[in-house]
Amino acid sequence: MPEEMYIPTYDDMLAAHERIKPHIRRTPVRVSDYLNELTGAQLFFKCENFQEPGAFKVRGAANAVFGLDEAQAAKGVATHSSGNHASCLSYAAMLRGIPCNVVMPRTAPQAKKDTVRRYGGVITECEPSTSSREETFARVQAETGGDFVHPYNDPRVIAGQGTCSRELVEQVDGLDFVVAPIGGGGMISGTCLTLSTLAPETKVIAAEPEQADDAYRSFKAGHIIADDAPKTIADGLLVPLKDLTWHFVKNHVHEIYTASDAEIVDAMKLIWKHLRVVMEPSSAVPLATILKNPDAFSGQRVGIIITGGNVDLDKLPWN
Amino acid sequence: MPEEMYIPTYDDMLAAHERIKPHIRRTPVRVSDYLNELTGAQLFFKCENFQEPGAFKVRGAANAVFGLDEAQAAKGVATHSSGNHASCLSYAAMLRGIPCNVVMPRTAPQAKKDTVRRYGGVITECEPSTSSREETFARVQAETGGDFVHPYNDPRVIAGQGTCSRELVEQVDGLDFVVAPIGGGGMISGTCLTLSTLAPETKVIAAEPEQADDAYRSFKAGHIIADDAPKTIADGLLVPLKDLTWHFVKNHVHEIYTASDAEIVDAMKLIWKHLRVVMEPSSAVPLATILKNPDAFSGQRVGIIITGGNVDLDKLPWN
């Protein structure tokens, strides 16, 4: 991220879409008569779990990677992440044929490490602490010269994530709401960026786990509140807002709703049963909040972003 | 089925498509770079597991149900099945608001019974034997006057299933092959019916479990061979060919390939991992046979029909 906060614009999102179109999928939108009846709303599920690396984060990652000039590209990219951003950035770098260095706690699940390596990412392990991560990352970046692509607090990443809701409004007319999960706020920020110009009448709702509700409390307090070490089954949503995503949340988000872990698991089961989509717990938070706030959504046309599908089938949260 | 064998035509398929379009989904086609690399082919997965009741069989069922005249519709439909045909026929009858009677062995899984009942189907249980089933079904049909919709040996059902490959060739250009699983042969027959007119250069391949390879042996012998009681993990593919489906298999199928249960489970895992689609073991047989016969498919454009997604997540075959 540049020293001075650069707020990405609608034109940045359009440029991102042109740049990444050859490298991402235009994911399908799915509906379920049963879930519509259950909620009294018309729900349209945008299935980003069907991106090649299994998550929407490939959009922002590809925008950053394919926007680099040749000199920087030769040195590649670098990030710290133990989640979908690490694998999506590795995937995008592999497509361009440039190096990707990832700093990851040595305690991260083996499956996550395997995925990054499958896409050619080079992992440097750190201790599971903020100080170790920062120290290790600074060293890796100094050694490689890789361009730092933050998982969400980066204008290129936010512009890339914004391409998802552009597709969604092309695929579905007259949405009253778009609901997406919120962790660090990259997807929500991109959604705000796009819809505030393209469909200003469509309200953006963020959905958050009760047990990691720092965005909800920030939204109500009017300033960023970061939790120390939140714990929720929706483990993609643990990270706090940062200045750039807070800008979008503060100015464009209509409301933030929360749901308990038990409600999130119930929503996962319903989506499997009626949409036949298995996804990460994080992706079930929107439906969980819709079921919890029926009056807010009844009779409305609601887009829902299913953010990712990287879950271990053998360790589903109801087993 | 009429007394005299009526072979459905291409026009029947077109009429079926017009009739059922409001009641079915135009399912998405998915691709995976990884699976393409693994097979050396270009694979296009048509996801019929994303039909509302979770299987392609809603196409044939809806064609039969919505083609009834008012007098017959008042008496409803009837069938014997413990699988997707039972739930899809119940679903289609529910959409039209007419009765659906299903004869099912009392030993059928509770989940299957629940699904039929959720769609308003009325179950009459029989003993798990052919004689009990036939006797019970004759009684139910006499009592209700329901029109018998056979799971596959019915021209209306075959014409309905044929609409799937019509969509597929609209969605994907220049297919060299379409591969679908074969049990009784309803989907394969519909695929032959459509492609022999619409894309005669596209070869139809049937994929069958080794442990229920009666279609393969019939195809090689030149006459129908029915197994006594085959056992395979691909439990949607246990039933034998009948005269109508044999007509299409004999005249239009290019080749039948088989795969072992272990290979089928491996293919299920691969499709989950790289397409993030969980499906019935039956639906994994095509990929299993493609992996087993790389020379036949390398460099080719191959459509694959994922026939259904009704599987118990808590009882996956590798747990």
Torsional sign, CA B119, B121, B126, B132: negative
Residue B82 falls inside a structural domain: yes
- Is B92 a domain residue? yes
Radius of gyration of chain B (CA): 18
Are residues B294 and B201 part of one domain? yes
pLDDT tens track for A29-45:
999 999 999 999 999 99
| pTM of the complete model | 0.92
Q: Tell me, what DSSP letter sits at residue B119?
A: T
Q: Does any CB of chain B come closer than 8 Å to the CB of residue A218?
A: no
Residue A90 forms part of a structural domain: yes
The runs of H, that is alpha helices, within chain B are 10-20, 33-39, 57-66, 70-75, 84-96, 110-118, 130-144, 155-171, 186-198, 214-221, 243-252, 261-275, 281-292, 294-297
Kindly report the nearest CA distance between residue B31 and chain A, in angstroms: 8
- Does residue A124 form part of some domain? yes
- Under the banding of pLDDT at 50, 70 and 90, the label for residue B3 is low
Q: Does A40 share its domain with A70? A: no
- Boundary (domain end) residue, out of A105, A130, A148: A148
Q: Does A72 lie in the same domain as A42?
A: no
The listed range with the strongest mean pLDDT (A80-84, A234-238, A259-263) is: A259-263
Question: Which residues from B are below 8 Å from A32, CB to CB?
Answer: 52
Strand-pair category, A42-47 with A29-30: antiparallel
- Span A52-65, mean pLDDT? 97
CA-nearest residue to A54 within chain B is B276
Please tell me the predicted confidence (pLDDT) of residue A221.
Answer: 97
Is any Cβ of chain A less than 8 angstroms from the Cβ of B203?
A: no
**Residues A197 and A305 reside in one and the same domain:** yes
What tokens does B288 get?
Answer: 């299993």
Q: Cα(A80)–Cα(A55) distance, rounded to whole angstroms? A: 17
Instruction: Indicate the average pLDDT of chain A.
Output: 95
Residue A2 has pLDDT above 50, yes or no: no
> Within a domain: residue A174?
yes
Identify whether residues B87 and B135 lie together within a single domain: yes
Q: Is residue B18 part of a domain?
A: yes
A-chain residues within 8 Å CB-CB of B52?
32-34
One DSSP character per residue, B253-275 reads EEEEEEE-HHHHHHHHHHHHHHH
Per DSSP, the three-state class of A208 is strand
Say yes or no: B200 contacts chain A, CB-CB below 8 A.
no
Flag whether pLDDT at B174 surpasses 70.
yes
Give the tokens for residue A312. 């271990």
pLDDT at A298 over 70: yes
Q: What average pLDDT score do residues B126-146 get?
A: 93
Say whether both A194 and A103 belong to one domain.
Answer: no
Per the structure, the count of domains in chain A is 2
Mutate to test the interface with A, among B280, B313, B315 (most CBs of A within 10 A): B313
Residue A23 Cα, gap to closest chain B Cα (Å): 11
Inter-axis angle of helices A110-118 and A84-96, nearest 10? 10
What distance in Å separates residue A147's CA from the closest CA in chain B?
Answer: 26
| Inter-chain touch A33–B50, beta carbons under 8 Å | no
Residues A283 and A191 in one domain: yes
CATH number at residue B180: 3.40.50.1100
Range of the structural domain that residue A79 is part of: 58-148
Residue of A nearest to B312 (CA): A273
Chain B residues close to A25, C-beta within 8 Å:
31
Helix (H, G, I), strand (E, B) or coil at A12: helix
- Same domain? For A142 and A159 the reply is no
Q: What percent of chain B has pLDDT over 90?
A: 88
B156 domain-assigned:
no
- A274 and A186 in one domain? yes
A134 and A217, same domain (yes or no): no
CB contact under 8 A, A272 and B313: yes
A309/B contact by beta carbon, under 8 A: yes
pLDDT the model gives residue B4: 73
A28/B28 CB distance under 8 A: yes
Chain A CB contacts of B32 below 8 Å: 52
Is the same domain home to A173 and A283?
A: yes
Scanning A11-30 for CB atoms below 8 A from B yields 25, 28, 30
- Asked whether residue B3 is assigned to any structural domain, the reply reads no
Q: Across the interface, do A316 and B313 touch by the CB < 8 Å criterion?
A: yes
**Testing the interface with B: which of A276, A307, A312, A315 to mutate, by most B Cβ within 10 A?**
A276
pLDDT digits (tens, 9 = 90+) for B80-119: 987 899 999 999 999 999 999 999 999 888 888 999 999 9
* Same domain flag for A278 and A134: no
Q: Any chain B CB within 8 A of the CB of A84?
A: no
- Give the ipTM of the model, two decimals please: 0.88
- Please check whether residue A307 touches B, CB under 8 A: no
Q: Partners of B305 in the beta sheet? A: B46
**Chosen domain end from A123, A148, A173:** A148
Task: Give the model confidence (pLDDT) of A76-108 as tens digits.
Answer: 999 998 789 999 999 999 999 999 999 999 988
Last residue of a domain, one of B113, B148, B183: B148
What pLDDT, in 10s, does the model give residues B203-220? Answer: 999 999 999 999 999 999
The residue type at A51: Q
